[in-house]
Structure 1
Amino acid sequence: MNQENPQSHQNETVPAGMLPDWTVGDLPKPPRLGWKSWAALLGPGVLMAGASIGSGEWLAGPGVTAQYGGTLLWVATLSIVAQVFCNLEFMRYALYCGEPILVGAFRTKPGPKFWTVFYALLEFGHIWPYNVAGASVAVAAIWLGSLPGQGDDGLVHGLSCVLFLLAFLPLIFGGTVYKMLERIMTVKLVVVLIFLVLVSTCLISSRSMSEVLSGFLRFGQIPLRANTIIDGRHFTLTEQHDDILYRIRGTVEETETVVTEFTAGNQIFRMDQEIPAEFDTRYQELKTRAEKLALADRFYMEQIDGPISLTAEGTIDPQDKSWQFEQVTVRSEDGSNTYRQLADIPNQALQKELQERIENQGLRRVQLIGYIQEHGKLPDLDWALIATFASIAGAGGLTNALLSNYARDKGWGMGRNVGAIASAVGSTTITLSHVGQTFRSSQENMSRWRGWMRHIIRDQAVVWMVCCFIGMALPCMISVEFIRNAPVSGNRVAGMSAEGLENSYPGNGLWIITLLVGFLILYPGQIMSGDTIPRRWCDIIWTASSRARQLGKDKVKQIYYGIMTVMAVWGLLVLMFLDPLDILKIGGVLANIGLGGSALHALYVNCTLLPPEVRPNWFMRLGVVCCGLFFFTISGIVFVSLL
């Protein structure tokens, strides 16, 4: 890339807020879209799409759909569409001046010191290495020949630390960081999509496909799970004794019964925790009952609403995994009655509810607003996992802001005149200007500007958004088909899809293949994460710090890799003490706040620092405002549910 714009106006500057003025040059020509230049479109959209098919699609997505089917996929629709709006505004700023959007944020009042603290707090949602934590589960499962169980925590934690450190190597060697990441994500995107498409077209029933695809449009609906659902080998069994509600979750495997969670009142005991003596008898009773009911080709469901209880059972269709009703027992104050036909149930409301739960494999769908109006509270759902699902359905958090960094490094718009961040070892001499450069609003430049805006809209709407929906839909189809109603556990969620496929098609190598694909989905995401925080703060320091501005243009990588070192130390501490699902939930919930705050701030930046002729229109402004409100609300629900 050019160190200086040959057409720059050497003595002309433009005021740019609280940081040094922009220089002035001419806007480069946008690429023409044609069959010969299609590769020009494969820019930040491919990079971020490759990164986006990660924890959201392989961990949070299957985790949500395993428990709730396709009902909540509309949350992903809102998330992905909302992110397109904020992504375009992030990239608009980079096209205009060649700076990342967060540098623009530091140009606004009250100044860099305030925004340093503000964005450092928002950054807290991104220092949780959930991608490598999930990838370590896949490696551990390959090593063990089964999903990690009780006593395997040490192996998972150890592997995660080793893999975490290895993920930094590609960022240290070879060329510009952007080009290296683009190659990795392109390979990942192609391989993963080929695998997912083959599995979905060859092994997924039309019923599961329909449930997932329709779920993206079920706006406002929420699922209410029955108290007890035993679906083949997977069980969630609930009983109440002496005013204490007991619940046990797990899976009956070939060699043992794995209990992933046991709840006694408000106390929750996970797989690696010892059950207190006062609850052990009840624990053993529930486990024994679950083992008797959990049969590979049968289902069992109980739902208690006040004085009325429903107990239904039947078989599971081996082709599409649907429930085939055999009988239901209705208990009430008037006694107990057993029916073998749904039409025989005299209470029409009960008949309708049971039919819906059979069709939806233990779920009843209601509108969220209607539920809150009726009950005066939020439904009992795993809101932290749902918020995480929303957070990383696309990119998530401040990661989206990196689209402006990568647009700069790709040489889009005025980024072509600014430079890029080079790798620590093996790179050519590439410099990065301390100050951005903008352009005059001439007729020629404005024509080019409109061309660049069309280019980034194609990048986001054609590449990034489409890849996000495909990348979310295909893994969710697998989970709905093969791990429906499976318990979601910290050290197992990354390998659940592989276990489900192997259980349905044993001996075909799907166990190893799916785990390797899961690793390929998650691990490059960690490489990407290893770049995101150093890149964000390197760009901020490089432009906002007066001391950094005294350094030579080729010294930017010293700051970049210094920040990376600090990040590595923190990541090791987290991986040593927290399980993968906890890391995922903490990072996801906090990342929503980061995305909401940065989106609204970016809109303010573009509406104040940019000249009127290149500012966003009212449609874009409304979209960004809705984006911010959506992500604030979804994490706010998590905090409210904890009260």
Structure 2
Amino acid sequence: MDPDEPRTDGGVADASDEVYASAEEGEEYRDTVYRDIDYESLPEAPETSEYPKTDKGGNYRVTDLPKVPKVSHIVGPSAIMLGASLGSGETMFWPTLIAQNGWGLYWAFWVGVITQFFINTELQRWTMATGESIFRAYERIHSFWPWFFLVAGFIHLGWPGWAAGSAKVVAAGLGLGTDNWAMIGIGLMVLIWLSYQAGPIIYNIIEKAQLALMVLAIVGAVLLIFIVGSAGQLANVPGGALNFGALPQDMDIAVFLGGLAYAGAGGYINLAQGVWSREKGYGMSTYQGRILNPLQTGEGEIETVHKDGYTFEPTRTNLRRWKAWWKITQQEHFLTFVVGLLVVATIAMTITAEFAAGTENGAINMWLMDVIPAVGPFSAALLYVVIFIALFSTQYAILEAFVRNSVDIIFEMYGRKAGWDLNRVFVGLLTLFTLWGIGIIALQLSQPWILLVLGAAIAGVMMWPYNALTTILNTTRLPEHTQPGWARVVAMWWATGFFGFFSVLLISSQLVSRFGLTTFETTVGVVGSGAGGYVLWLLALVVQVYTMYRSAQGKMESSDTVDNADEANGLLA
């Protein structure tokens, strides 16, 4: 087979193929791949248009892009992201919004999901091209950004509302009453911590657990729509899906922005997509080490995660490999994350629209007090199981995402220079965050739904700056052949404007309602806002214009700077 001849099966070729991995090589990705090479002996990438810009950071090392496995071999990062989504937007926020406001809001859900498809895959791009995490990329722009996202991430995810919610579901399902949930919640946090001790490669444990939970949740959801008799509600989906821009007049903007952020995982969790991709071994990440559990490995056993990553020479073979890598990672995210969300969330919405229309309860109480009493015993039992899995899988993924992101930031910004052991930093922060969650649960806070709303709103606001940063990063720091195509650039402009618009409305509502600063009042149509409100809208406009200008400038300046760059282009490159 001609190594330069493009394949159409997206699969594994024979040993003579220069683009696709052999069957044996591809299978290795199921349990993550680490290829240890002599980092110091590799040549440093020159400061030319063929390689990523260093921004005065360390230089990249040049080696070949690995051969490409099948999409089925790399399923994992998006399954964890799906698990993080199910207990937030997909079974909590959006079913509640639809029950309270009707199917007219469904347009915002599917638009949010598709928007997050582009956001998440763009967060993967830098990692695939360099083997570095997105936080290292942000550090190359300015050291402020990793610390900013660490603090915002703690505000977003620091309260274990999902563990409390899943504990309430277990207590209610066992007939213990919803007030007797604290010890169950503490037990679930301990169970999550113990699960990390099941093997030496921490990522592999999380991936397998989340894959199993996702299969159970999806199968359970599909069974439910037929058992409870809510399938007739599907007739309302097309009308709601095309009802673009419609918002109820009395919509709580914090709840709505939370729903937009959680049409997917949202906030700090999305930033883990690149770190999980590195652990799995996507693209150049194959050469970066994985985080090992020091309690399960031998003394001194380590896989090095280099601060400065890798890059590849734009030969025709490497360009074709990049095109194939980009194709399968998009397929993995779409088939796992997007399809999974649309199926499970839509089914959940049909159930709440059928049995809880007009409810004034928060999400968890809506399921426990409105829906479950209205269905038969078998359906109720299955609902308890599916809702528990959704909430528990989300808490599991939240703890994992927070710890993995935060460890990457703390280690690279301080710990590496201080001589810390990356693996021990991970286990240490995992333990501290687990104990923190146990302490919060032990206080038995009475309104976990409020905590979920606040966390979701913060998640939505956080997505505004990192969408802008990622768009600028990928169009001005990456070389022509690994940059996003114009269709993706426009999609990221949309994402930045989308979250910027609703973030301004949220910030305004909080300044007015909590602090009485009526000058910051804003309107959805902009006209009629207060003086301070116009300042907020001006800020959003400046961010949007700057993002569009810098990214367009980067695309145009890099055009025709790499020979045969079009070899790397494909659908939604």
Give the structure-2-normalised TM-score. 0.76
Correspondence for 1:163: 188
Contact 1:27 1:448 in 2 (8 A): yes
Aligned AA for 1:140? A
Secondary structure of the structure 1 residue equivalent to 2:311: strand
Matching residue of 1:333: none
- Cα separation, partners in 2 of 1:180 and 1:501, compared to 1, 3 Å: same
| CA 6–523 in structure 1, closer or farther in 2 if over 3 Å, else same | same
Aligned to 1:233: none
The answer to whether 1:4 aligns with 2:29 is: no
Out of 281, 294, 305, the position equivalent to 1:433 is 305
Which residue number corresponds to residue 336 of structure 2? Answer: 463
Cα displacement string for residues 432-478 of structure 1 (whole angstroms, at most 9, x for unaligned residues): 32221111122221111111111111122232211111121011111
Provide, for residues 260-287 of structure 1, a one-character-per-residue CA deviation record: whole Å limited to 9, x for no partner.
xxxxxxxxxxxxxxxxxxxxxxxxxxxx
> What does residue 317 of structure 2 align with?
444
Cα separation, 2, equivalents of 1:27 and 1:395 = 30
Structure-2 residue corresponding to 1:44: 77
Query: Retained in 1: the 8 A contact 2:95–2:345?
Result: no
- 1:613 alignment partner in structure 2: 481
Match of 1:26 among 50, 64, 70: 64
What is the alpha-carbon distance in structure 2 between the residues aligned to residue 493 and residue 562 of structure 1? 37
Mapped pair 1:84 → 2:109: no
The residue that corresponds to 1:132 in the other structure is 163
Distance 1:101 1:170, change over 3 A: same
Alignment partner, residue 504 of structure 1: 375
Per-residue deviation at 1:615?
1.2
Q: Give distance in 2, aligned partners of 1:406 and 1:100.
A: 9
Asked whether the 8 Å contact 1:393–1:472 carries over to 2, the reply is: no
Higher RCO by CA contacts (8 Å cutoff, separation 6 or greater) = 1
Structure 1 counterpart of 2:268, which letter? L
Deviation at 1:70, TM superposition (A): 1.7
Q: Which residue of 2 aligns with 1:535?
A: 404
CA contact (8 A) 1:58 1:494 kept: no
Aligned to 1:122: 152
**What residue in structure 1 maps to residue 449 of structure 2?**
581
1:478 maps to which residue?
351
Cα distance in 2 for residues equivalent to 1:416 and 1:539:
17
What is the CA–CA distance in structure 2 between the aligned matches of 1:571 and 1:512, rounded to whole Å? 28
Shift of 1:13: 4.1
- Alignment map for 1:137-536 (pairs within 5 Å): 137-144=168-175, 148=178, 152=179, 155-223=180-248, 379-427=249-297, 429-435=301-307, 436-489=309-362, 492-493=365-366, 495-496=368-369, 500-505=371-376, 508-536=377-405
Question: Separation in 2 of the partners of 1:548 and 1:578?
Answer: 41
Larger CA deviation: 630-639 vs 470-479: 630-639
| Alignment gaps of 5+ in structure 2 | 1-32, 47-52, 513-573
Give the Cα separation in 1 of the matches to 2:346 and 2:413. 41
Q: Partner amino acid for 1:541?
A: I
Partner amino acid, structure 1, of 2:108: V
Tell me the distance in 1 between the aligned counterparts of 2:366 and 2:237.
Answer: 19
Q: Deviations over 1:272-326 (max 9, x none)?
A: xxxxxxxxxxxxxxxxxxxxxxxxxxxxxxxxxxxxxxxxxxxxxxxxxxxxxxx
C-alpha displacement at 1:71, in angstroms?
1.8
Q: Contact 1:73–1:215 at 8 Å: present in 2 too?
A: yes
Matched AA of 2:499:
F
Q: Distance in 2 between matches of 1:432 and 1:478?
A: 48
Question: Is the contact between residue 65 and residue 322 of structure 2 (CA under 8 Å) also seen in structure 1?
Answer: yes
Residue 133 of structure 2 corresponds to: 100
SS in 2 for 1:420: coil
- SS of 2:359 mapped into structure 1: coil
Cα deviation, residue 484, structure 1: 1.7
* Deviation (angstroms), 1:427: 4.8
- Greater Cα radius of gyration, structure 1 or 2: 1
Query: Could you tell me how far apart the structure 1 residues matched to 2:36 and 2:55 are?
Result: 22
> What residue in structure 2 maps to residue 271 of structure 1?
none
1:394 aligned partner, one-letter code: G
User: Where in structure 1 are there 5+ consecutive unaligned residues?
Assistant: 224-378
Q: What is the rounded CA distance, in whole Å, between the counterparts of 2:430 and 2:37 in structure 1?
A: 31
Residue 609 of structure 1, CA deviation: 2.3
Q: Secondary structure at the match of 1:72?
A: helix
Amino acid at match of 1:216: A
Partner of 1:596: 464
Distance 1:140 1:632, change over 3 A: farther
- Partner amino acid, structure 1, of 2:37: N
Over the residues paired in the alignment, what is the CA RMSD in angstroms? Answer: 2.5
| 1:28 Cα offset (Å) | 0.2
Query: In 2, distance between residues paired with 1:5 and 1:132?
Result: 41
In the TM superposition, residue 7 of structure 1 has moved relative to its aligned partner by 9.4
Question: What are the Cα deviations for residues 318-354 of structure 1, in whole angstroms up to 9, with x where unaligned?
Answer: xxxxxxxxxxxxxxxxxxxxxxxxxxxxxxxxxxxxx
Would you tell me which structure has more helix in proportion to its own residues?
2
Distance (whole Å) between structure 2 residues aligned to residue 9 and residue 593 of structure 1:
43
Tell me the amino acid that sits aligned with residue 150 of structure 2. Answer: A
Q: Which amino acid aligns with 2:213?
A: K
Shift of 1:635: 3.5
Identity over aligned pairs, percent? 25
The CA deviation at 1:30 is 1.2
Aligned length: 467
Cα deviation for residue 189 of structure 1 reads 1.4
Give deviations 1:44-101, integer Å, cap 9, x for gaps: 2222223322221121122212211222121111211111111121111111111111
Aligned partner of 2:61: which letter?
Answer: T
Distance 1:470 1:441 in 2: 40
Q: What CA distance in whole angstroms lies between the structure 1 residues aligned with 2:289 and 2:114?
A: 30
Change (3 A) 1:2 1:389: closer
Contact residue 108 and residue 260 of structure 2 kept, 8 A: yes
TM-score between the two structures when normalised by the length of structure 1: 0.68
| Contact kept in structure 2, 1:142 and 1:512, CA below 8 Å | yes
| Cα drift, residue 412 of structure 1 | 1.0
Task: Measure how far apart 1:550 and its partner are.
Answer: 6.2
